[in-house]
Amino acid sequence: MLLAAGIALGMLSAPAAPLRVLVFSKTAGFRHDSIPVAVEAMKALATARRFEVECTEDAASFNAPNLAKFKVVMFLLTTGDALNDEQQTAFENWYRKGGGWVGVHSASDTEYGWEWFGRLVGAYFMSHPAVQNADVHIEDPKHPTMKGLPKLWQRRDEWYDFKSNPRSQVHVLATLDEKTYQGGKMGDDHPTVWCHEFDGGRAWYTAGGHTNESYAEPLFIGHVYEAIRWVSRTR
């Protein structure tokens, strides 16, 4: 009896495994000048919020033993054909076991020929006007990743249009008001942040994050952090 109680107590007091995030920022197309700033911001966020982060542009990191170390993979400003077939398969297998994926900005300008990834991200990038101010309407203020955001969020960024509207495939969290900026092409329904439960894991995407200034915005960084927590099921 005492042995059983001791074992049970030991199980209850065992420390939880640390949250580990793989931040991937390889580019095989356009390369954002903000990548170094964004990477440093993720490192600073990890320090402040006490999780572990590994930042890489090495696609060879996408193998089963290495991916098994992480709960979350973030595609941070990636572009183009970033992974080969073997690496894609390793990522799919990892994700289907309950992995979490966070996509930032040009994550949607990545892997156009990978059909599964297209469903993961929700929609592919089509075009964008110049960087400018716009109104972002928070559509689901109760979602954990929208925590602390004003219902009308005014910010400056590069606002993406997409090849298709993802609404029927994902849970839209925020939309753009095209009447508040020039050059939008999606009309009255313009999703810009969304998430979904997909193929065994969780995925979250924001079209924001083009500018250096984005990574000094507490609200922007805060909702990326909440996305990490949501896809990892730590909240």
Q: Report residue 14 CA to chain centroid gap.
A: 30
Radius of gyration of the chain (CA): 18
pLDDT at 18 over 90: no
Q: What 3-state class would DSSP assign to 205?
A: strand
Closest by Cα among 169, 173, 211 to 191 = 173
pLDDT at 3 over 90: no
Cα 177 to Cα 85: distance, rounded to the nearest angstrom: 38
Question: What integer pLDDT is reported at residue 17 of this predicted model?
Answer: 73
Question: What integer pLDDT is reported at residue 29 of this predicted model?
Answer: 96
DSSP string for residues in 117-137? HHHHHSS-EEE---SEEEEEE
Contact status, residue 233 vs residue 100, Cβ threshold 8 Å: yes
User: Model confidence at 46, in pLDDT bands (50, 70, 90)?
Assistant: very high
Produce one character per residue of 213-235: b if its CB has 16 or more CB atoms within 10 Å, e if not: ebbebeebbbbbbbbbbbbbeee
pLDDT at 6 over 70: no
Exposure on the CB side of residue 23, measured as CA atoms within 13 A: 23
Which residue has tokens 């995407």? 205
Contact status, residue 148 vs residue 233, Cβ threshold 8 Å: no
Give the mean pLDDT of the chain. 94
pLDDT at 7 over 50: no
pLDDT at 14 over 70: no
pLDDT tens figures, 207-231: 999 999 999 999 999 999 999 999 9
pLDDT at 9 over 70: no
pLDDT at 233 over 60: yes
Question: What integer pLDDT is reported at residue 16 of this predicted model?
Answer: 63
pLDDT tens figures, 125-145: 999 999 999 999 999 999 999
pLDDT at 10 over 80: no
Question: What integer pLDDT is reported at residue 8 of this predicted model?
Answer: 44
Report, as an integer, the average pLDDT of 184-190: 98
CATH homologous superfamily for the domain 18-124+190-231: Class I glutamine amidotransferase (GATase) domain (3.40.50.880)
pLDDT at 189 over 90: yes
pLDDT at 234 over 90: no
**pLDDT over 70, % of the chain:** 93
- Delimit the domains of the chain by residue range: 18-124+190-231
Q: Please, which residues bridge with residue 52 across strands?
A: 20
Phi-psi region of 166 (alpha: psi -120 to 50; beta: other; left: phi over 0): alpha
pLDDT tens figures, 70-121: 999 999 999 999 999 999 999 999 999 999 999 999 999 999 999 999 999 9
